[in-house]
Amino acid sequence: MKRQIYPISPNKAQVLAHEIRWKIMKLLSGEKSLYAKSIAELLGISEQKVHYHLTQLRDAGLLVPVGVRSIKRGRAKLFKPVANQFMLSLLNHDIDNSETVFNKIFQNNFCQQGKFNGKIVVGSAQPHGRYDAISRDGFLSGELCWYLGNYLPMQKGLVPHHVITDLEIEKSKGYRRTNLILIGGPITNTLTAHYNPILKSKFNIYFIENRIVCGSENFSNPAHGLISLFKHPNSSNCWILILAGIRSLGTKAAIYAIISDSYDTIGEGDEFATILHGDSQDGTRINRVTKVKCKSLFFM
C-alpha cells in the first residue's frame, strides 16, 4: 500500500484507543491474512466480540477489505489496516486522506449523495459472444460490491439493484448512457469487447486474442490485468471503468488492486489505463499487485 504513515483525526484516534482494537490492528498488520474466527482464537475472546470491534474499525476507515476466504461454513471476510503507522496531527488544517482508490475512482464518478450510481456488468454464465465463452467472474462483482458497501454506509442492495450481465444490459440498451463498471475481458464480457476500440484510440492499450497490447509491447501472462477509467463516449456526465484480464487470474488482479486500495497501481490523470501484474503463489489467489505500464490523459 502506498501510504505507510496515515494521519488521523482525534475521533479516529479514539476508536484506536481500545485494547482489543489495538491488538486486532497489530494482528492484521502481519503478513498472514486473518478472519474473525482466527482472530478470536488468537486473542482468546468470542467471535461476536471480534466482529463488533472489526465493525468499529471499518466504519472509522481504519481497515479496508482485501478479499474473502473459503471456510467450512461459507466465506469469511478479510481486512487489512490502511497503514502500518498512524499519526495524530495537531496542525490547524484539515487532514488529507484523499489518496485512496475509492476517492480517486468512485467518489465523484460513480457516487451520488452517498449512493452508488451506475451498473456493474459481468459476463453471462451462458455461452455467448464471438467465442461462445462462459464467464466465471460473477463472484468478483460480489467482492467489489462488498468493498463499495464499506464506503457507502447508506447503500443497501448493491448486488440485486446494480449488478447485471452483459447480455441483459445489451438487450435493454442500458449501457448507452449510464456509468459502467465492466468486469472481465473481451472474450467473456461483450461490453468490454464493445469498448475495446475506445481503449485503443485513447491510450493505445487494448485487448487482442490472448494478450494486452500497448504500442509495440505485448503482455500475455495470465496474471496480467487492466484497470482503465475513461469518459463514456455517449455521455459526458458518465464514466466507464474496466477491470479485466486476458484470463480470469488477471481480472482477479484488477479487482484485488481495487479492494486492497492499491493506490500506486492506478493512473494519475482523470482518464487512465494501467496494466498490472498479479502475484499468485497457487495460480488462483492474488496476493499483491504491481503496476507494469500506465498511460494517462490529463485535463486542465
Sorted by where each begins, the domain ranges of the chain are 5-88, 101-297
Q: Which pLDDT belongs to residue 220?
A: 95
Q: For 272, list phi and psi in degrees, rounded to 5.
A: -155, 165
User: What is d(CA 118, CA 179) in angstroms, rounded to the nearest whole number?
Assistant: 4
Stated pTM of the model: 0.71
User: What is d(CA 244, CA 224) in angstroms, rounded to the nearest whole number?
Assistant: 9
Helices H / strands E in the chain, number of each: 10, 16
- CATH for the 101-297 domain, from 2.170.120, 3.90.580, 3.30.379, 3.90.1210: 3.30.379
DSSP annotation of 156 reads -
The pLDDT tens digits of the residues spanning 265-281 come to 888 889 999 999 999 87
- Give 118 or 174, the one with higher predicted confidence: 118
The CATH classification number of 5-88 equals 1.10.10.10
Q: Residue 196's CB: how many other CB atoms inside 10 A? A: 18
Q: Which pLDDT belongs to residue 199?
A: 96
Angle ∠(289,244,203) on CA atoms, nearest 5: 90
Q: Which pLDDT belongs to residue 157?
A: 57
User: Residue 139 contacts by C-beta under 8 Å, 6 or more apart in sequence?
Assistant: none
User: What is d(CA 130, CA 208) in angstroms, rounded to the nearest whole number?
Assistant: 13
Q: Which pLDDT belongs to residue 191?
A: 96
Residue with cell 471503468: 241
Query: What are the helix (H) ranges across 163-225?
Result: 166-172, 190-203
When pLDDT is cut at 50, 70 and 90, the band that residue 155 belongs to is low
